[in-house]
Chains A and B, each alone.
Chain A
Amino acid sequence: MDVLEKLTILTDAAKYDAACTSSGGSRTAKAGMIGNTSTSTAGCCHTFSADGRCVTLLKVLLTNRCIYDCKYCVNRRSNETRRAAFTPEELADLTISFYRRNYIEGLFLSSGVFRSPDYTTELMIRALSLLRETHRFNGYIHAKAIPGTSPELVERLGFLADRLSVNIELPSEAGLKTLAPDKTKGAILAPMRQIQTRNRQSREELVKFRHAPRFAPAGQSTQLIVGATRDTDFRILRLTQGLYDRYGLKRVFYSAYVPVVEHALLPARDVKPPLLREHRLYQADWLLRFYGFRAEELLDEGNQDFDPRVDPKCSWALAHLDAFPVEVNTAAYETLLRIPGVGLTSARRILSARRVGPLHIDNLRRLGVVMKRAQYFLTASGKMAEGLRFTPDSVLRGLVAAERPLLPRQEGVQLSLFDPPGTA
């Protein structure tokens, strides 16, 4: 089988992994080595695929042969599909050649479980060592740690990669038991804990010894599948929050489940992936990481799923109308961040601009505040936007109308997906 064919099979098998970022790297160029990882702290997208997702890394599997039989996965052993495997040389050549042409920021290496987790990880380590040591590749590498791998191998993998990730995939243990019988919660969380501990140690060592090797300097991430099981948004968001708090994750990715197989326990094949739900979860994820929100503020036992009509921040503001309007000339940064339509950047600009003189409504638009949303929730020098009259009802309508053009088009159909798939 030639490389073009292998690339096709192994890309096709890797495409459902949502994580494709090159953020968090800060390694500058080194003499005798190819590349760096310091494009910008936010990472760098090299293209966008037809589905609108960023492509920054060469995202492939080392092999799609797998001993596991996870029901939701295209690579499960019971699926009749063509199997292939890269040799380490082929993979290194592809990575270097793509990198030099500026097609990619680095390599994202995942793999099916071939023979055993340890065996697979050793193959991955061999490929990455060839790339790092023989080909002197200094760019970004994201590697998957496979649940059940022995700690010594995860350790070696971490020194070769910039970022490691262990995919949780199913947000509850019950889901794991039914859909991924070969995996356990313990086997998934153990490497995550190890990566966190080792990463922290490595940073401490770096303070003492300048040339101490770096263990996964860009941290770790994970992915949760949305819509394959009946888990609610609240459950997913609380799990996310726990992962950020207790495991120090850099990112949690959400992947709307694309039905790839007919199975009694999974949504039917003609069900569309719940893209809107995925979108709402990402919005909430940002609120957790940057805006100081807690999962319990956004959702609770009574309200387990996000409102499909408005984004989580607007939804929160509508439920807390007594906290508004906020006066932008006096409010604290944390309070500004809670106004829908005010983001991290515009809040910072407000802080800076109001030191020069009092702000008026006209100034806010030029500071980057999205007035379509913000106008209902703020005053500037005591005044709201001119001619604005509203009731709580019309605010909701206004907010829904403001967001509609930004959402993917087939949403009308997708709203029905908020009822969990009828699996019984």
Chain B
Amino acid sequence: MEVIYRYDGSFDGFLSCVFDSYAQREIPAGFDSGEDGVFSLFDSRTVPTDPGHAARVLRKVTALSPEAAVLLRRGFLTCLPEKELCLFRLTAKLLREGPGFLRDRSDETLCPVVKAVQHLNGEVHLLKGFVRFSELGGVLGGEIEPKNRVLPVLGGHFCARFHNERFFLYDRTHREALFHVPGRSVIRPLADFQMAPPDEAEARYRLLWKRFYDTIAIKERENPRLRMTHMPKRYWGTMTEFQGEDWFRPRSSPAGVSGPGAPAGISAPGTPPPPSPSAPGSGP
């Protein structure tokens, strides 16, 4: 009997599903985390999240192969279509055959997961460089628009580097934000966020950076294709050097203000591709 598991979308919830499928001796036909409104003709069953069950599954996986546990954790953050099913198959194969097949990257069960995790790791690596912070009254704030849920991985890097700063990083795609104060950091859902317009000093540094960026290129070597290979355009929307003029106009200057207390609205349209092309569709 084919059945779809409905769970709460958390990692623990997913592991509880794995536990349940073994307890009920059945193989799920799919997973439904409730967000994408999956409609299916199969029966569905709601699996309650049980931290005890989740811990048991994770303990077993870790005992068989610590690498597989990392793969599950990271794989769960990726934008792989039907990631739960892929991760379920990987777990099942691991429990059935042992960890030997993990050495073979061309394995059909392993390959999609490894590739998705590689995509996640690649995105994290690029974003370590491409994130741009703005100083807003002593607090640093930045926005990103990634395909994968990078914040849990990326957060570690910025928390280490800016350990004595207060900062936040907003993920537009997944509508969540990382908040950091010295010694503590959390990731919380955040429905909407608009960057406030810059003050005098912030606008100045943005302009200095833009000038540096424009000057450092050698005209005789211009190569837009190479630039796009290294830095795909979907990252440009949140990077200072590609913003329109409004981005560099300080709050107090007469030209750029719509109302003194108006909460932002001004800086957001500075983003060249405004309706965020990469956000909704996620996967290519």
Interfacial residues, chain A to chain B (CB-CB below 8 A) = 3-4, 7-8, 11-12, 14-16, 28-29, 31-32, 34-36, 38-40, 44-56, 58-59, 94, 97-98, 100-103, 105, 256, 258, 272-273, 275, 349, 352-353, 355-357, 359, 362-364, 366-368, 408-409
Contact = CB atoms under 8 A, between A and B. Distances in A.
B3 interface: no
Contact of A11 (B140, B163, B212): B212
Task: List the 7 closest A-B pairs by CB distance, nearest first.
Answer: A52-B226, A363-B106, A49-B217, A366-B106, A51-B221, A50-B217, A356-B104
A315 B164 CA distance: 52
Q: Which of B126, B132, B161, B214 has the most CB of A within 10 A?
A: B161
Contact of A101 (B111, B133, B157, B223): B133
A46 B130 contact: yes
A44 B217 contact: no
B132 A103 contact: yes
Q: Which of B100, B208, B216 has the most CB of A within 10 A?
A: B216
Given A48-B227, A256-B221, A29 B160 contact: yes
18 contacts: A7-B215, A8-B211, A15-B218, A32-B164, A35-B161, A36-B161, A39-B128, A47-B129, A51-B227, A101-B134, A102-B132, A103-B209, A258-B221, A353-B106, A355-B103, A362-B106, A408-B223, A408-B226
Given A51-B221, A55-B213, A98-B208, 15 more contacts: A4-B208, A4-B211, A11-B216, A44-B128, A45-B231, A47-B231, A52-B224, A54-B230, A55-B216, A94-B208, A97-B205, A103-B240, A273-B220, A273-B221, A367-B105
B32 interface: no
Contacts of B142: 102
Interface string B156-168: 0110111111000
Contacts of B230: 45, 48, 52, 54
Interface in B99-124: 100-101, 103-107, 111
Interface residues of B, number: 55
Q: Which of A28, A38, A44, A355 has the most CB of B within 10 A?
A: A44
Contacts of B225: 52, 408-409
Contacts of A359: 106
B218 A4 contact: no
Contact of B140 (A50, A101, A272, A273): A101
B145 to A, nearest CB: 16
A50 B163 CA distance: 33
Contact of B218 (A16, A98, A355, A364): A16
Contacts of B111: 366
A14 B216 CA distance: 8
Contact of A50 (B100, B208, B222): B222
B250 to A, nearest CB: 14
Given A11-B215, A101-B205, A36 B160 contact: yes
Contacts of B217: 15, 49-51, 53
B151 to A, nearest CB: 15
Nearest to B133: A101
A12 B140 CA distance: 29
A101 B133 CA distance: 4
B205 A58 contact: no
B84 interface: no
Given A49-B216, A366-B111, A356 B101 contact: yes
Q: Which of B103, B125, B241 has the most CB of A within 10 A?
A: B103
Contacts of A357: 104
A101 B212 contact: no
Contacts of A363: 104, 106
A77 to B, nearest CB: 22
B69 interface: no
A290 B220 CA distance: 31
A101 B239 contact: no
Q: Which of B104, B126, B226 has the most CB of A within 10 A?
A: B104
Contact of B211 (A7, A56, A100): A7
A420 B221 CA distance: 20
B64 interface: no
Contacts of A50: 214, 217, 222-224, 227
B181 interface: no
Contact of A48 (B161, B219, B231): B231
Contact of A100 (B107, B140, B214, B215): B140
A84 to B, nearest CB: 13
Contact of B135 (A47, A101, A275): A101
A353 B103 contact: yes
A54 B213 CA distance: 11
B131 interface: yes
